[in-house]
């Protein structure tokens, strides 16, 4: 059985002593849980506030996100953009496009967010930008492929975040499925990549935080 990474009581306590969501983020959270399949994919308050704080610390000019879902994490990451900065977010699910664009337009970041529908592996090679911050929260079996496509596009000293690297605790179980095997392989790859310094954080479903330290 998958493990709870954090005891529910500890999770609730952490959320209690974490800054609250904005009214718009609360709306995205409610709507996602009420109307969208697999609402567990939403970052939520604790991880969302972490993403926002990381972005504000970095003050990125350019952000790339793979896996928009309902737009919650993009809105959090956009909080740290410098004036005139841009966030590109990519998702393959066109069914949510109108809803997500509505949230972006309702926020104060609409003109700073470039929302693209399509396969990330097809879109990334055509991007002209380099990125100060990258957040990967897409199909897990391609984490390694996305990292390879993007590492040379990340600025020296820039950061990458990859979500779900603990995969509900399946990374420490005996029975391994295809996605878990891909995550194990990715985590091992990052641990031995000399271009990055990395910390695996047991936040929510596991976040791999990396800083590019070598070209």
| Tokens of residue 171, six digits | 């990374």
Closest by alpha carbon to 54, among 197, 210, 213? Answer: 210
- If you search the block for the tokens 């879902």, which residue do you land on? 69
Which pTM value belongs to this model? 0.95
Query: Cα dist. 138→84, 113, 135, 146, 183 in Å?
Result: 27, 18, 9, 9, 12
Q: In this predicted structure, what is the pLDDT of residue 1?
A: 42
pLDDT tens per residue, the chain (215 residues)?
A: 445 688 899 999 999 999 999 999 999 999 999 999 898 889 999 999 999 999 999 999 999 999 999 999 999 999 999 999 999 999 999 999 999 999 999 999 989 999 999 999 999 999 999 999 999 999 999 999 999 999 999 999 999 999 999 999 999 988 889 999 999 999 999 999 999 999 999 999 999 999 999 99
Distance separating alpha carbons of residues 96 and 131, to the nearest angstrom: 25
Structural domains of the chain, with CATH? 8-212 (3.40.50.150)
Q: In this predicted structure, what is the pLDDT of residue 175?
A: 80
Contact 112, 81 (CB under 8 A): yes
Distance separating alpha carbons of residues 122 and 3, to the nearest angstrom: 34
């Amino acid at each position: 059985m998958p493990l709870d990474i954090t005891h529910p009581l500890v999770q609730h306590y952490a959320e209690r002593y974490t800054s609250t969501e904005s009214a718009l983020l609360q709306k995205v959270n409610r709507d996602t849980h009420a109307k969208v399949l697999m609402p567990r994919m939403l970052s939520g308050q604790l991880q969302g506030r972490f993403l926002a704080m990381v972005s504000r610390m970095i003050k990125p000019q350019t952000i790339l996100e793979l896996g928009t879902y309902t737009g919650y994490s993009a809105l959090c990451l956009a909080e740290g953009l410098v004036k005139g900065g841009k966030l590109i977010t990519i998702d393959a699910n066109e069914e949510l496009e109108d809803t997500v664009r509505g949230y972006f337009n309702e926020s104060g970041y609409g003109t700073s967010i470039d929302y693209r529908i399509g396969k990330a592996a097809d879109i990334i090679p055509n991007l002209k930008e380099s990125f100060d911050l990258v957040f990967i929260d897409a199909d897990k079996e391609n984490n390694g492929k996305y990292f390879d496509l993007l590492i040379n596009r990340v600025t020296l000293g820039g950061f990458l975040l990859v979500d779900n690297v603990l995969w509900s605790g399946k990374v420490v179980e005996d029975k391994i499925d295809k996605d878990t095997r891909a995550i194990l392989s990715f985590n091992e790859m990052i641990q031995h990549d000399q271009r990055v310094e990395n910390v695996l954080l047991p936040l929510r479903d596991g976040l791999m935080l990396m800083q590019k330290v070598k070209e």
